[in-house]
Amino acid sequence: MNIFVIGATGFVGGHLSRHLAAEGHTVCGLARTETAAAVLEARGIVPVAGDLDARRPAVVEAALNADAVVYAAQAAPEQETGAVSDLVRTLAGTGRTLVFLSGSGVLLQRTAGAWSPDVFAEHDPFTVEPLAELRKATEDIVLAAAGEGLRAMVVRPGLIWGPGDHGHLSMVYRSVARSGAACYVGQGLNTYGHVHIDDVTRLFALALDKGPCLPHLTPPRPPPCLTPRPAPLPLPSPGPKQEAAPVRHGFSTGGCASARSPSSGASASCSSRWVRTVTRPSR
């Protein structure tokens, strides 16, 4: 299969493009700079010069020349919605495949670290937080295209972790290295899940190979027979609290643990704007 990966130099898109190339697919990747193009060539990926702004027509043209398109870029919300809208309009009626990487953070609730019993399945209605409105709108654009001659799918993983990530787990480990304590928000009772990058790449490969035109594909809970991966460090015993600097993130597939994403049967993630409360162990 000829697969065009938008975001091929990023964390998820990079792992995915290498995985697909190793499976024997012809993989093209979007390269915004000459440096990015050289990186892709070194990985056996065919670079496509373009971007999601002025050079977006080159991206759309590359999509038309591919059998399948994977959108795994982390762009500004307005830019993302515009690019995906152009892709959908161009690919509608072609029978090609479009798989969009979202995140279960679209289900986020602002709880400031408190527990919430709410749980949502894929098709349950929910109130979309302003931070996630454009991402949810982009999901809807992709899913609506499934009825317009396009094999369109949305993947909503939780917080993705693994080699090279800059997400929550790596943030926890860095906080331990710098302060001697793992950081969490408020009571630390907000729930969200994680999924390893290797599992995400396998999910995308299965979606491209076997996925029907279903509204969503979400990673199942891993069976216990899988080889265990290193667990995050345990939280320290409660001690004196100190206010950390504000932590600000844009919406993505992951983010800071200040809210919760009540998804059912899938890893959940969130991204929000909160001030962290750092708990340090008594000395």
β-bridge mates for residue 196, sequence order: 161
The pLDDT, as a whole number, for residue 180 is 87
Cα(137)–Cα(140) distance, integer angstroms = 5
Give 165-209 pLDDT, tens digit per residue.
877 778 888 888 888 888 778 888 887 788 999 999 999 999 999
Using 50, 70 and 90 to split pLDDT, how confident is the model at 259? low
CATH 3.40.50.720 matches 2-159+194-217:
yes
Yes or no: say if 103 and 270 are a contact pair by the CB < 8 Å rule.
no
Most confident of 10-14, 179-183, 211-215, 230-234: 10-14
The pLDDT, as a whole number, for residue 50 is 96
Q: Mean pLDDT, the chain, as a whole number? A: 79
Return the sign of the alpha-carbon dihedral for residues 52, 58, 60, 63: negative
Per domain, the residue ranges of the chain are 2-159+194-217
Q: What is the mean pLDDT of residues 107-122?
A: 84
The pLDDT, as a whole number, for residue 152 is 95
The pLDDT, as a whole number, for residue 263 is 56
Using 50, 70 and 90 to split pLDDT, how confident is the model at 116? confident
The pLDDT, as a whole number, for residue 112 is 87
The pLDDT, as a whole number, for residue 115 is 87
pLDDT score of 265 more than 70: no
Indicate the range of 47-61, 200-214, 217-231, 266-280 predicted with least confidence: 266-280
Cα(3)–Cα(242) distance, integer angstroms = 49
The pLDDT, as a whole number, for residue 79 is 95
Using 50, 70 and 90 to split pLDDT, how confident is the model at 239? very low
Say what the alpha-carbon torsion angle 241, 244, 246, 249 is, to the nearest 10 degrees.
-100
The pLDDT, as a whole number, for residue 99 is 97
Cα(93)–Cα(171) distance, integer angstroms = 43
Where does residue 93 rank: exposed (0-12), middle (13-18), buried (19+ CB within 10 A)? Answer: exposed
Tokens of 226: 């899988």
β-bridge mates for residue 275, sequence order: 246
pLDDT score of 33 more than 90: yes
pLDDT score of 221 more than 70: no
The pLDDT, as a whole number, for residue 261 is 58
pLDDT score of 217 more than 80: no
What is the per-residue burial (b if ≥16 Cβ within 10 Å, else e) of 26-35? ebbbbbbeee
pLDDT score of 134 more than 90: yes
Q: Residue 80: which residues within 8 A CB-CB, separation 6 or more?
A: 52, 73, 134, 135, 138
pTM (2 d.p.): 0.76
Tokens of 157: 């993983």
